[in-house]
Amino acid sequence: MLTSRQRIIKRAAKEIKDGMNVNLGIGMPTLLANEIPDTIDVFLHSENGLLGIGPYPYEGEEDPDLINAGKETVTARSGASFFDNAESFAMIRGGHIDLAILGGMEVSEQGDLANWMIPGKMVKGMGGAMDLVQGARKVVVIMDHVNKHGETKVRKECTLPLTGMQVVNRLITDRAVFDFTKEGMILTEIIGEHTVDEIRACTEATFTVADHLVKEGVRR
């Protein structure tokens, strides 16, 4: 049986298409590097200066100088490029990142994202998320549907400091997939064995249900 995190990662991997430049945010999104099939050609971007991230290295083969934005050791695929931080952010701000997959603390029904800090807790900085949500051509957020206290993270309005307003194109949780359109927030897929009523019960945000709702999602 898949864990909730595995269900999220496997569903999110379907967002990555051949030929894309993709930025994977710190945390759960970095796990997607090991889920990309060999049949597609994708360049993974890290805002600290690497385009062409490969899978995580095997134990004992780590290069301490080769890291992603989360300071995890990574590998570089054939054809990878290294550059300074300023050039990396020029790629983001210039609209050259096809897809950004980011973690989230809260997402609102308007597509607002909060993912960079919790008041009262120490943070090292806002990272590149604020640039990514504005510069990437598509923003997909992945997160658990509820927090460890059982409270929904899919809210009418975010209660945490915002990373960006109306920037999320798609939200993937361990229970559902939502799209954000001019018509509002739409439930397009159910992941696992949940029902629409169960999704409504754990979601504060108001949403409509797609006419062609995908109910199987990622199987357990």
Q: Which residue among the candidates 15, 35, 47, 109 is catalytic per the annotation?
A: 47
E strands, the chain, are: 21-24, 43-46, 50-53, 76-82, 99-103, 106-108, 113-114, 139-142, 154-155, 170-172, 176-181, 184-190, 208-214
Token pair for residue 80? 């990878």
Cα–chain center distance at 93: 18
CB atoms within 10 A of CB 76: 16
Tracing tokens 């050609």 back to the chain, one arrives at 41
Distance CA 134, CA 56 (A): 28
For residue 47, indicate whether it is catalytic.
yes
> Are 175 and 190 spatial neighbours (Cβ–Cβ below 8 Å)?
yes
Give the residue numbers marked as catalytic.
47
